[in-house]
Amino acid sequence: MKFSTSDSSLVLAAPLLLAALVSCTVISGAGTATGTTSGDATTGTGAGGGAGAGGGAPTGATGKDVFLALQADILGECGACHKLGGVADAPFLALPDVYSSIAAWPGIITLTPTSSILLTHPGLSSHGAGMAPDMSKPLRAKVLAWLQKEATEIPKPTESTKPYITPFKPLLGAFNTVYLDPLGKTLESSSISFNAVELGSPPSMLLLTHIEVHPVADTTIHLVHPIFSVYPDGGGEEPDPIDSFSSVDHAFDLNGDGTLGTGTVILTNWQKGGRIGLAFEAAEVSGLGTPLDGCKSDATKAQFTKDVIPELQYCAATCHSGMMDKPTAAMNLSQLMMMPVDAACAQVRARIHPGDPATSDILIVTDPSKQVAHGYKFAGNKSKYSAFKAAVSPWINAEK
């Protein structure tokens, strides 16, 4: 993450740097979209014929069927940059299961297909800093038809009077971040994260671990009785059979332990290809957060100043600079070089697990080898990521 002309090991060539910079726009559309369906936006109807012609999906076809018919086309136009480890920093076309990869990527399948980042981002002048081409018209028509079909398949929780997150396909074997924006304006940019792994052969359970709540700075959020539900590919709604978090009634701020309940749930009713949803008895901002903890000692403050701040200069100049709401709310580095060291340390410390680099967010989300939604992954350069990890890990360990 360092952006310093004095260190040639982290100076990127101009085109690559610009591509990495604008890829940060992915994060602004991340999270689970919600809304209402209306008109033709989600009916799958269109002017063309079958899915291959850009019109509605053939009778009986599923969203997956429609995507598989266009998979070769989207890989041909977008796969070189958006593969795992690609320079676009958004690996939503990861092999070998491309459909599972793209269907689970935040902001792509939405209730309003035309709002999908897959359609809105390629045509922007910021797409690859103007160097990446727009999606071709033929592919755009096919993608729209696919997204229209997928929108019709998004289930709605039956107990819709409760605050809920629209059901979504989890990123399997990966770190997931679910934004709480659909629960109300006061919860915008707050999130819940977890790792999701299928169990069994064929998969019959879904293990969610390291489930954590991430408020934004200066807020405390109150969550009551969260419940995960499974939405099988063929339809229906199946809440967690043992209601694992029925006793949860807890307030979270950035200084406290963010673990939701036990931090683990096994959904024994999982079906491969399904969605999961999350609802609450109550979800609200209940007050101001306590001031963020800075570095724990003068020694770790000195270590942070020497080893970590230089690595954050690129982040401070781009996504976390105040230009983008979600990244800035998560970690505000807009005044990195002018703010007191304790204030900078507090912002970063809120996104680590002191003493445990391997589970710290700043190392998980930036890893170019992981299919995790984040706006910057060193443009796919594993060596630069390794250098970043080596520089910040000693400080993370020392903060324990």
Q: What is the pLDDT of residues 221-241, one digit of tens each?
A: 999 999 999 999 888 999 999
pLDDT at 275: 96
| Tokens 């410390």 sit on residue | 349
Reply yes or no on whether the pLDDT at 322 is more than 50. yes
In one-letter notation, the amino acid at residue 203 is P
Reply yes or no on whether the pLDDT at 17 is more than 90. no
Q: Within its chain, how far is the Cα of 357 from the centroid?
A: 20
pLDDT at 65: 96
Comparing CA positions, the residue from 366, 374, 229 lying closest to residue 311 is: 366
Cα 318 to Cα 334: distance, rounded to the nearest angstrom: 9
Least confident segment among 22-36, 56-70, 178-192, 272-286: 22-36
Confidence of residue 132 (pLDDT cuts 50, 70, 90): confident
Confidence of residue 334 (pLDDT cuts 50, 70, 90): confident
Which positions ≥6 away from 167 have C-beta within 8 Å?
154, 155, 156, 157, 229, 231, 275, 276, 277
Average of pLDDT values for 181-189? 91
In one-letter notation, the amino acid at residue 267 is L
Cβ–Cβ under 8 Å, residues 145 and 66? yes
Cβ–Cβ under 8 Å, residues 292 and 346? yes
> Which has more pLDDT, 25 or 80?
80
Average of pLDDT values for 289-318? 89
pLDDT at 50: 40
Q: Which contacts of 113-118 are long-range, i.e. CB under 8 A and separated by 24 or more positions?
A: 113/41, 113/42, 113/144, 113/147, 113/148, 113/150, 113/151, 114/41, 114/144, 115/33, 115/35, 116/147, 117/26, 117/29, 118/92, 118/143, 118/147
pLDDT at 329: 78
What distances in angstroms separate CA 288 from CA 217, 254, 255, 361, one per listed residue?
Answer: 9, 11, 12, 23
Confidence of residue 218 (pLDDT cuts 50, 70, 90): confident
Reply yes or no on whether the pLDDT at 1 is more than 90. no
pLDDT at 56: 57
What distances in angstroms separate CA 154 from CA 113, 242, 272, 281, 349, one per listed residue?
Answer: 11, 24, 16, 22, 37
Cβ–Cβ under 8 Å, residues 277 and 165? yes
pLDDT at 41: 32
Say how many Å lie between the first and final Cα of the chain, rounded.
23
Which positions ≥6 away from 352 have C-beta within 8 Å?
360, 361, 362, 396, 399
Cβ–Cβ under 8 Å, residues 359 and 346? no
Which 3 state secondary structure label does DSSP give 89?
coil
Comparing CA positions, the residue from 145, 266, 260 lying closest to residue 208 is: 266
The secondary structure of residue 375, as a DSSP letter, is S
Each residue's pLDDT tens digit, 49-61: 343 444 456 778 9
Reply yes or no on whether the pLDDT at 282 is more than 90. yes
Reply yes or no on whether the pLDDT at 274 is more than 90. yes
Comparing CA positions, the residue from 217, 363, 365, 360 lying closest to residue 293 is: 217
pLDDT at 18: 38
Which 3 state secondary structure label does DSSP give 138?
helix
Cα 160 to Cα 182: distance, rounded to the nearest angstrom: 13
Comparing CA positions, the residue from 398, 377, 399 lying closest to residue 388 is: 377
Confidence of residue 6 (pLDDT cuts 50, 70, 90): very low
Mean pLDDT in the chain? Answer: 83
Tokens of 289: 């957060």
pLDDT-above-90 percentage for the chain: 60
Average of pLDDT values for 190-215? 96
pLDDT at 130: 74
Reply yes or no on whether the pLDDT at 86 is more than 80. yes
Average of pLDDT values for 88-113? 92
pLDDT at 323: 66
> Which has more pLDDT, 54 or 250?
250
Confidence of residue 160 (pLDDT cuts 50, 70, 90): low
pLDDT at 20: 40
